[in-house]
Amino acid sequence: MDLVKELEGLIPELEEGLNQSSDLQGLEALRVDFLGRKGRLAKIMARLPELPAAERPQLGQLANTVKQRLTELFDARKNALDAAREAALVARFDAGMPGNMPWKGSLHVVTQVMEELCATFRTLGYDVVSGPEVETDFYNFEALNLPADHPARDMQDTLYIQDKIVLRTHTSPMQARTMLSRKPPLAVVAPGRVYRRDSDLTHTPMFHQVEGLMVDKHVSMADLRGTLTAFMRAVFGPQTRVRFRPSFFPFTEPSAEVDISCVMCGGKGHAHGETCRVCKGTGWVEILGCGMVDPNVFVHVGYDPEEVTGFAFGLGVERIAMLKYGIGDLRMFFENDVRFLAQFA
Ligand code: DAH
């Protein structure tokens, strides 16, 4: 009886096949080959009608037994493979290994410093205001006593959007905007981005400034000195010394640049027998520009310069952050290297 032999032969053949397949794909191929709808068992069964009717029940029974046995073999092999795979995983698993820490964002160091500067002025009673980065020629220049042919416009390396529309080159346009929308007495700081056509080791096309403006009756240069000295000591520590040097800005008269005693060498000009590289041995570092609001600026916004006086100042936030944290390279602020940023988280 050929069919009986063929049926029984399936068992050792499957055993051999199973022994040789070591992955789930091979196993599945074998299952289809032996037990599938068009598999070998099914093909043998299809030949059942060849037998005399009397032998068929017996063979049917044998076929069932073989099918059961094939299924058992198949399941046993699959279980063994699953178990081996799991054991390999467990062997590789190190319960003592540190887990993946979730990343946590934080404010950029420039944003942090900018907020700290503004917070310091808030405690002095200043409001924080903001305005557009795309600015008109009027606010960026004209109202600040910088008429079209003024040579000081060259200092600014302006990026133009179109004729008379610029990316603001400084936060000073907020002076005019504030004076037009408020009445004195007023005291504001305006933080924000500014843009210049300038890019090298110490300049980036976009950077941050904080502008300050105070207008009232009888505001004097002494108020400016007192305010900025208190501010610098709040930011850089009570030991900080402050000096004012005469300078020029079109929108202030008189104008000054403010230096503080060097944050690196404490004003000595040298450290560990070497010339201080931050102040280049001078003991001072420049920190901001300021002055008494020029009467022409008041006239542009409709204030009476006989009635009110005021002071203004503008500072670069990146510069303050560099001095505060001893950061040597401006470009670090804009590369967004997480290893750098995370130090300020
Ligand atoms: N706007 C100037 C700049 O960007 C900085 C400045 C100087 C602002 C003197 C002022 C000021 O308000 O009084 O270089």
- pLDDT reported for residue 331: 92
Return d(Cα 45, Cα 32) in angstroms, integer.
Answer: 16
Could you give the maximum distance between any two Cα atoms of the chain, in Å? Answer: 128
How close is the Cα of 314 to the center of ligand 1, in Å? 4
Phi, psi of 262, deg, nearest 5:
-55, 130
Q: What pLDDT is attached to residue 115?
A: 97
Residue nearest atom 5 of ligand 1, based on CA coordinates: 314
| Cα(56)–Cα(73) distance, integer angstroms | 25
- CB contact at 8 A, 275 and 282: no
Q: Please provide the size of the chain in residues.
A: 345
pLDDT of residue 155: 63
- The answer, yes or no, to whether any atom of ligand 1 lies below 6 A from the CB of 316, is no
Nearest CA to ligand 1 atom 6: 314
Pocket probe mutation, ligand 1, options 231, 258, 313, 320, max atoms within 8 Å of Cβ: 313
- Report the distance separating Cα 111 and Cα 317, nearest Å: 9
Any ligand 1 atom below 6 A from CB of 172: yes
Q: How many beta carbons lie within 10 A of that of residue 177, not counting itself?
A: 20
Q: Which element (helix H / strand E) includes 117?
A: helix 109-123
Q: Sign of the CA dihedral 183, 184, 185, 186? A: positive
CB-ligand 1 contact for 195 (6 Å cutoff): no
Distance 236 CA to ligand 1 centre (A): 21
At residue 72, the 3 state secondary structure works out as helix
CA nearest 140: which of 163, 116, 162, 164?
Answer: 164
Element (H, E) at 286: strand 284-293
Indicate if ligand 1 lies below 6 Å from the C-beta of 288.
Answer: no
Burial class from Cβ neighbours inside 10 Å (0-12, 13-18, 19+) for residue 26 reads: middle
Measured in whole angstroms, how far is the alpha carbon of residue 220 from the centre of its chain?
42
Q: Is residue 313 in contact with ligand 1, taking CB distance under 6 Å?
A: yes
**0.85 exceeded by the pTM?**
no
228 C-beta closer than 6 A to ligand 1:
no
pLDDT per residue, tens digit, the chain (345 aa), is 588 888 888 889 988 988 888 888 888 999 999 999 999 989 988 888 888 888 888 888 988 998 999 899 999 999 999 998 899 888 888 888 888 888 888 999 999 999 999 999 999 999 999 999 999 999 999 999 999 888 777 666 899 999 999 999 999 999 999 999 999 999 999 999 999 998 888 899 999 999 999 999 999 999 999 999 999 999 999 999 999 999 999 999 999 999 999 998 999 999 888 999 889 999 999 999 999 999 999 999 999 999 999 999 999 999 999 999 999 899 999 999 999 999 998
d(CA 127, CA 120): 11
Joined together, the tokens standing for residue 80 give 């063994």
Cα 98 from Cα 96, distance rounded (Å): 6
Distance of alpha carbon 226 from its chain centroid, rounded? 36
Q: In this structure, what is the dihedral angle of CA atoms 273, 278, 279, 281, given to the nearest 10 degrees? A: 20
Cα distances (Å, whole numbers) of residue 140 to 173, 193, 206, 248: 5, 13, 16, 17
Does the C-beta of 291 come closer than 6 Å to ligand 1? yes
Please state, in angstroms and rounded to a whole number, the distance separating the CA atoms of residues 7 and 61.
11
Closest ligand 1 atom to residue 251 Cα is 13
HSE, CB side, 13 Å, CA atoms: give it for residue 74. Answer: 22
pLDDT at 1: 54
Q: Rounded CA gap, 260 and 284, in Å? A: 6
